[in-house]
Structure 1
Amino acid sequence: MAEPGRGPEVLAALQAAAQLLDEVPGAVHQLGEDQEGELVSTLLRLHGRAAQVATVVTADAVDRGAVTKSDAVTTAQWMASRTRDGVPVEAKAIRVMASVADACQHRKNTVIGRALLKGSCSVESARTALLQADKVGPVIPTAERDEVLGWFLQIDPALGCDELTKLTRRIIDLFAPEKLSKDDETLEGTESLSWSTTATGMTRLVAELSPANAAILKEAINAKSAPRPAKPADTKDKTSKADGPDETDGANERDKTAGTSRSHSSGAAFGLHLDGDVEAAESSISSEPVRDERSPGKRRADALMDLVGAGARAAAGDGTQASAATVLLTMGLQELLAGHGATTSTGDVLDAGAARRFACTADLIPVVLGGPSQPLDVGRRERLATKAIRVAVILRDGGCTFPGCDRPPGFCEIHHVRPWWAGGETSLSNSTLLCGRHHQGVHRQGYTADIQPDRVIWDLTPGQMPGHQTGAA
């Protein structure tokens, strides 16, 4: 039953305001630039606040039984049935608001309802906090749920749900590193990559990757997708060399014969270097760098294709494997010895098994910290296997050496039997081939091996790897 008060007046005023919004497009040209900026600010505030209030009101409707009395099966269906006047609301947004509204029915989640009432968190942040609190709660049984939710709600909503997820991984790694390892192992088993053709003829790639493999991909693409300006007047036959070797020297010669010099494999036009009078004319143009006109998305796509091309050439060549992406990992010495994970330069938290795998294959710069963030050991590139060692390991092993695996060398990585951080050397007697799947498994389980001149004998007793604790990666 409705209570007396200003409720009906507020409803009528809001309905009038909604009608007023329809007049905004026709009135925009009557506003100055400053007024237009203020209008956008007001509209954005209305947009965010409306989602918060709609969630709180829906929670009240659920509490009153309005949803169960309706024909709707779920709260989301009830909300969808309330949309009107042809204003579209995405089904995903409705599902998020409905799930938070349902969660607010539980006394254990009252802190979420209060935050939405105050407007101190977005609906998306509230949803993420609820999901992450369910993951964190079991590893900190002494913490009250309100306290755990408070940790997530203290994060600036502008940072997005990504920061909330990272906080969860940090907490789990701190209190239960073995759980983080098991969770990531499960995620690795459900990874997927698919593609589809869009209406414009483009192909859309959709990948769901575990944190470790996502870190490799992000670091590799970020390293190769920075803007690459060119100097039109003084870089003839130099730009492609400066950015690294092109596909073939023959291709460069064909370009020169045609009167052009490739500046980048991406195909972006950074200026032509032509013979004769045109080249003379260009020499008078300023030598200021020409900006890279590619969008960030295009640069990342180009970087991905460069990486795929390099991998395909390596797989079709002599079977050796180039180093992976450069990954900066930071970890405390005691945390490393205790089996905890590490943090990448982008803030991603990796479990210990993934960090140890990176130590074998990635062009890794591991920074082990002790005391007040004092670097104790900074790894060097020389710890990666040289081409000669790779060839020798390939000739000896012939492929993945894990029992029962038949993956060929082109699908394998060099594994340090005694890890580099435990004093292991980069040598033939300390290296063996493992496919990506078994390489990760070896580091997670802590397996070790006996490398003999003509074969590798694995000891599949968990926890035998130096520095590995039984039950932790």
Structure 2
Amino acid sequence: MSLDSAVPLPERPGAPEGDVRGPVEPGRGPVALQELETLVAVVDEMPALIHQLGDAQVESLTQVLLRLHGRSAQVAAVVTADAVDRGTVASSIAANTTQWVCRHAEASGVPIEPVEAKTIAVVAEACRERKNAVIAAAVARGSCTVSTARAALINADKVAPVIPTADRGEVLAWFLQLDPALGARGVQALTRKILATYATEALSAQDAKLEHVETLTWGKTATGMTRLVAELAPANAAILKAAITAGSAPRPATADTADTGGSGPTGSHNEHGTGEAGEPRGKGTSTSTSTSTSETVRDDRTPGKRRADALMELIAAGAKVAAGEVAPVGSAATILLTMELSALTDGLGGATTPGGDVLDAGAARRAACDADLIPAVLGGPSQPMDVGRRERLVTKGLRAAVVIRDGGCTFPGCDRPPGFCEVHHVRPWWAGGETSLTNSAILCCRHHQEVHRHGFMAHVRPDGVTWDLTPGRMPGHAHAAA
């Protein structure tokens, strides 16, 4: 999901009418509380009953539990705010609202993380103030998570001085109208985007201070491992994440199996290519008429292990260059930045990475000196990026354009970043589809396979991709499946 889909800033929604907390009066409240206590007992019983459920029921159970998880935190914030107003918190033995939440969590038998208790308490305290009525209403009706609410409250104080013509309620409304999938990260990114646009010097100065206090430490864990802890400024963090992500995608190996029983993997991990049908080249193809086949063996490394391996590869390569064993080749890194030309030439505004990181213009200029920047023209027709049917495989420039537009896997509900994705021909190349921006969509390996397996089609718009999950819509799908 790309942050750019949330900009320009949305219209301010209508202000909530009246206080979100109604007056205390007898009614359904006690009955609802008793029903909730019964529900908790049922939830505690569920782990022993899961084996009695079918696949569809397990999915329904998961949805119900996740709804309860998120909604409970929202309602807890509303209840805590009410407890503060009543004086319940002040009359307790808790030192503050956060401790009051923690004590009740411990009493429930399911303690929560201190940071979660702090978030509930902060949001509850803020919702009591009339200036935060927009947030209070969103939390009460369940349209905003407590984490997003806390991020919006914090960042509103940063944005308000920059845009004097917008009141606090309007700024909070901007944050709440972001795609919920972006969460607190989206709020932080939009804040940096606003600062980069309206307070470039302030953002640059802020990031310069962060660069001066960057740290990298390490220490031994109880298991004998060494834990690295780094705190990096946005620009340096973007470079590191881009480099590690590029090298941490799964790398299936090739294993040769013979008719006599086969042998183990014979090759090292290599990134596999894909054809227009999204199937790995070499998978299931015969290497001999009757004696052996070549099959793809999945990469069983965990995501954390793949990132660690990618970091070590970068360090090893850099160490060889520093020792003079090999000559440096190419640029320091390949960074994909979306920005206006004026931001680069005049230093006004900022740049956005596919992962949503917002860099100030100064950081983008520094990257232009040492990194391999991929230029892209945005906002116009896609023809300049098209290569028609002269090319079957996606060019570097075209992939950059698709990544800028899509931001990651476009399949509904997927959050895989561009480094783990492939460019998919919406209308297959072999069925007459062009290798062009308007016929391309980013998909992770898993969903690329699912799209071809089920024959899903998509509608490509200038600002994104919408999928039709009706099986068999892809041209020639029946032939491809056969």
TM range (shorter): 0.5 to 0.7
TM-score by length of 2: 0.64
Q: Map 1:305-316 onto structure 2 (within 5 A).
A: 305-316=312-323
Residue number among 60, 71, 74 corresponding to 2:93 in the alignment = 71
- Return the offset for 1:211: 1.0
Cα deviation 1:112-140 (Å, max 9, x = unaligned)? 11001110011111111111111111111
Q: Secondary structure at the match of 1:331?
A: coil
Q: Secondary structure at the match of 1:306?
A: helix
Q: Map 1:22-421 onto structure 2 (within 5 A).
A: 22-83=44-105, 84-233=107-256, 263-264=268-269, 284-317=291-324, 323-339=331-347, 340-367=349-376
Structure 2 counterpart of 1:65, which letter?
G
Q: Which runs of 4+ in 1 moved over 6 A?
A: 280-283, 370-376
How far apart, in 2, do the equivalents of 1:296 and 1:283 lie?
A: 37
Q: Percent identity among equivalent residues?
A: 59
CA contact (8 A) 1:330 1:368 kept: no
Q: Secondary structure at the match of 2:228?
A: strand
- Return the offset for 1:307: 0.6
- Return the offset for 1:159: 2.4
Shift of the 226–18 alpha-carbon distance from structure 1 to 2, 3 Å rule, reads: closer
How far apart, in 1, do the equivalents of 2:48 and 2:359 lie?
A: 52
Shift of the 261–13 alpha-carbon distance from structure 1 to 2, 3 Å rule, reads: closer
Structure 2 counterpart of 1:92, which letter?
V
- Return the offset for 1:201: 2.8
Shift of the 57–373 alpha-carbon distance from structure 1 to 2, 3 Å rule, reads: farther
Structure 2 counterpart of 1:125, which letter?
T
Matching of residue 9 in structure 1 with residue 31 in structure 2: yes
Shift of the 373–64 alpha-carbon distance from structure 1 to 2, 3 Å rule, reads: farther
Shift of the 145–219 alpha-carbon distance from structure 1 to 2, 3 Å rule, reads: same
How far apart, in 2, do the equivalents of 1:303 and 1:140 lie?
A: 42
Q: Secondary structure at the match of 2:239?
A: helix
Q: Secondary structure at the match of 2:57?
A: helix
CA contact (8 A) 1:184 1:211 kept: yes
- Return the offset for 1:325: 1.4
How far apart, in 2, do the equivalents of 1:374 and 1:132 lie?
A: 39
- Return the offset for 1:168: 1.0
Structure 2 counterpart of 1:206, which letter?
V
- Return the offset for 1:343: 2.0
Q: Secondary structure at the match of 2:195?
A: helix
Q: Secondary structure at the match of 1:289?
A: strand
Cα deviation 1:170-211 (Å, max 9, x = unaligned)? 111111111111111122122222233333333222222111
Deviates more, 1:365-374 or 1:188-197: 365-374
How far apart, in 2, do the equivalents of 1:366 and 1:335 lie?
A: 13
How far apart, in 2, do the equivalents of 1:61 and 1:171 lie?
A: 36
- Return the offset for 1:43: 1.2
The structure with the largest alpha-carbon Rg is 1
- Return the offset for 1:69: 1.8
Instruction: State the number of aligned residues.
Output: 341
Deviates more, 1:146-155 or 1:30-39: 30-39
Highest RCO, 1 vs 2 (Cα 8 Å, sep ≥ 6): 2
Cα deviation 1:352-388 (Å, max 9, x = unaligned)? 1111111111233244668779989xxx99xxxxxxx
CA contact (8 A) 2:344 2:365 kept: no
Q: Secondary structure at the match of 1:68?
A: coil
- Return the offset for 1:318: 7.1
Cα deviation 1:411-454 (Å, max 9, x = unaligned)? xxxxxxxxxxxxxxxxxxxxxxxxxxxxxxxxxxxxxxxxxxxx
Shift of the 191–12 alpha-carbon distance from structure 1 to 2, 3 Å rule, reads: same
Cα RMSD (Å) of the superposition?
A: 3.1
TM-score by length of 1: 0.66
Give the equivalent residue in structure 2 for 1:452: none
For structure 2, which runs of at least 5 residues remain unmatched after alignment? 1-22, 258-264, 272-286, 386-395, 398-482
